[in-house]
A and B are shown apart, each in its own frame.
Chain A
Amino acid sequence: MRFVLELGRIAAFTADVARAVVTPPPRLGAFVAELFNIGVLSLLIICVSGAAVGMVLGLQGYNTLVRFGAEESLGAVVGLSLIRELGPVLTALLTTGRAGSATTAEIGTMVATEQLDGLRMLAIDPVHLVVAPKALAMIAAMPLLSALFIVCGLAGGYVVGVALMGVDAGNYVSSLQNAVDFRDDVLGSVLKACVFGVLVGLISTFRGYTCQPTSAGVAAATTSTVVVGSVSVLLFDYIITALWGV
């Protein structure tokens, strides 16, 4: 019963956010600021993590492929793994931990210090001013961060495979080029990243917006964002893969 009620509240909240996004005036300044907070400030963690994952994939992939004499396919293995799964999923998990939790904590603190009630009493809709730009920025940033993660991963795999393990550079790139299909793989990856962006954006803002107005409430909401956001990303990853084979 409580689960159904919670789903109903999330649905109503989603409708409020969607309405706020299309209601004038557009909050472009707030959106750009949030895009900076969520996107630009996540660049370092995304680049470093992407490169590290690509390097591990390169190493593990090479050690496995070399047993079958197929080490020339390393580019395809690294590329497909990153584009279809690891890029969007790990980006979403990292963004949930870094930007999602920060979003929840910020909105939650505004709830606890009555800043959102203060806006309501000024006849200013806090969903329109505070929540919608954050959710929208999360949705916009996720595919871009995912793409960056994949590029860094491919570079990491290249460094390990080509520079360290001696795989031919031309083979690495050509196997990658031949294996990756733009519609099935690249667009599928973008679709996943967009869905994860919607999930993390809504979960992080909802948790902050509905948290108990105490410091313990803000802490619990922040933890909940990371847990619920991460599990939701993994579950939806399976659902998207099972339904569309992406």
Chain B
Amino acid sequence: MSRGAVPLQETPVAFERVTMHFGTRPVLVDFSCEFPGNRISVVLGGSGAGKTTILRLIGGLIQPQHGRIWVAGTNVVGLSERQLYEVRRKLGMMFQGGALLNSLTVYENLAFPLREHTRLSEREIADRVHATLAAVGLRGVDHLLPGELSGGMVKRAALARAILRDPQILLCDEPFSGLDPISVKRIEALLRRINQERGITMIVSSHHIPSTMRMAHHVVLLWDHKAIQGTPQELAASPDPQIADFFNEEVHEEGVREPQHTPVQRW
């Protein structure tokens, strides 16, 4: 397959026999998988399994030792930084910690990429920023610095920045980490709504099994440096007891947590 050819219309992101080491530690070995278009794919795996590595490889932030990675029809392996910028214009990425510029307000964080890449007037930029902030449920935070936001608000501001330019592919790195259960459900609903309304291909790294079972159309489970793919239900019903346990134990753990009705102390 020559560079520039589209591997498959319905798979905007595909890994072909990718090997990735950090020093002597292998993370991905002869790794191949495909992410379907317009769907929510969740990359699952234990800590250190390579979930974030997958997203960083797609974005070209790191380069593998071997293999090909197709993103929107382009093999991003071996591209120069300048060539990668062309691919990244089709991507949006929500980082685990937000990665918002600390010295800029929330409004400026969102307006800045529009000023860089478009010829929109300040009024049009303001309209678009406010519409996107409203879409993620953030209002009245224009003037706040990222350090003044709660964890959930930072995630939503980061999501707003990632979807601001209508990317073809949205990468979300651990969007549920460090959030309380209500915020988890809010972010989860937000991702599902964005996927349904805008048809964006989403690749989400997570180790939050209940959310994965609810939102994912497709799951890539990182297992022994390789990918095991399928729908959440297929993987949960896997004949391999270790894989089935990986899903069911966590679902069970979350499932048995009944709402706690703490008796009111009366004095």
Question: A residues engaging B (CB < 8 A)?
Answer: 109-110, 113-115, 117-125
Contact = CB atoms under 8 A, between A and B. Distances in A.
A122 B97 contact: no
A124 B113 contact: yes
A123 B84 CA distance: 8
Contacts of A122: 88, 113, 116, 161
A123 B87 CA distance: 9
A115 B61 contact: no
Contacts of A125: 81, 85
Contacts of A124: 113, 116
B133 interface: no
> Size class of B's contact patch?
20 to 34
Given A122-B116, A123-B117, A125-B81, A114 B95 contact: yes
B99 A113 contact: yes
A110 B99 CA distance: 8
A121 B161 CA distance: 11
Interface of B: 56, 59, 61, 81, 84-86, 88-89, 91-93, 95-97, 99-102, 113, 116-117, 161, 171
Interface majority SS (helix, strand, loop, mixed), chain B: mixed
Nearest to B60: A120
Interface majority SS (helix, strand, loop, mixed), chain A: helix
A168 B40 CA distance: 84
Contacts of A123: 85-86, 88-89, 113, 116-117
Nearest to B101: A115
Contacts of A110: 102
A117 B59 CA distance: 10
A121 B93 contact: yes
Contacts of B81: 120, 125
B102 A120 contact: no
Query: Which of A110, A118, A121 has the largest count of B CB atoms less than 10 A from its CB?
Result: A121
A115 B100 contact: yes
- What are the 6 tightest A-B residue pairs by CB atom distance, in nearest-first order? A118-B99, A114-B99, A121-B93, A123-B85, A122-B113, A123-B88
Contacts of B89: 123
A124 B100 CA distance: 13
A202 to B, nearest CB: 19
15 contacts: A113-B97, A113-B99, A114-B96, A115-B100, A115-B101, A117-B56, A118-B93, A118-B95, A118-B100, A119-B101, A121-B59, A121-B88, A122-B113, A123-B88, A123-B117
Nearest to B86: A123
A129 to B, nearest CB: 9
